[in-house]
Amino acid sequence: MAATVPAPYMAAQLGLAQGSVSLGGTIREGQAQLPGDHRLLWKMRNWQSIRQLAFVADVTLTGPGANLSGRIALRPNRVTLFELSGTAGWPLVKAVLPNVPFDCAAMATLLQASGTATRSDRALTAQASVPEGLCTRTSGEAVSHPALLLNVATGEAGILGRLTDAGGNELARLALTPDDRVRITVAQAGARLMPGMPASSDSQIDVPLALLFD
């Protein structure tokens, strides 16, 4: 019977802040309206949920330029993501990170992403590609970029990402540390592709993760 409980009611009982997210449907099958005109749909996998003693569901995220699908498993204090893939546009980046000071026109293809998150730990592996395109800073300065490849893995230093062009030349390295800091090292070749970034030498950015969401 729990699977037929309305999703908004269950979220309220669990003390989950809904904020700008509008929930509909039931635990078994429902949707969440997200910022930036994005929508998350889920459909529970009943037998897998029983076997794994978890809430297991197929999920789909749609929106402007976005069509991602995968599977999640929810347990107390633990979320696991399986085989997320599809396409994502820049509006999704802005919905998650509204303080990013530039806009890009290209659409990314997420080849695969899997990960876990608990209150004290997280892990992620992912591969994504972006065709050549154009990015524009809020000041109006525009810079074109080549086709890009992003590889993400998890190590002792946290979640690590490496951005390269199609020829394998490193443009930037990214790290999300266990103490919730974002560290970005932009190579000279990468700086030339980022509006407003000094390109005379490698640049480093180190900020609290929370700053990106304020």
Distance CA 165, CA 167 (A): 5
Model confidence over 28-84: pLDDT tens digits? Answer: 899 988 888 899 999 999 999 999 998 999 999 999 989 999 999 988 888 999 999
Tell me the CA end-to-end span of the chain in Å, nearest whole number.
Answer: 39
pLDDT exceeds cutoff 60 at 153: yes
pLDDT value for 16: 47
Distance CA 127, CA 51 (A): 30
**Those residues with Cβ within 8 angstroms of residue 38's Cβ, 6 or more apart along the chain or in another chain:** 61, 62, 63, 64, 66, 91, 92, 95
pLDDT bracket for residue 9 (50, 70, 90): very low
Distance CA 138, CA 36 (A): 18
CB atoms within 10 A of CB 172: 22
Please state, for a pLDDT cut of 90, what percent of the chain lies above it: 40
The H or E element that residue 137 is part of is strand 133-137
pLDDT bracket for residue 19 (50, 70, 90): low
Nearest Cα residue to 146 out of 103, 86, 194 = 194
Residue 66 burial (10 A CB sphere; 0-12, 13-18, 19+)? buried
Average pLDDT over residues 135-156: 86
Joined together, the tokens standing for residue 80 give 């696991």
Residue 35 burial (10 A CB sphere; 0-12, 13-18, 19+)? middle
Instruction: Quote the pTM value.
Output: 0.82
pLDDT value for 116: 93
Distance CA 175, CA 127 (A): 15
Contact status, residue 69 vs residue 84, Cβ threshold 8 Å: yes
Model confidence over 175-204: pLDDT tens digits? Answer: 999 888 889 888 887 777 765 666 666 788
The 3-state DSSP class for residue 24 equals strand
pLDDT value for 7: 57
Joined together, the tokens standing for residue 56 give 């297991």
Could you tell me where the DSSP H helices lie in 16-83? 46-52
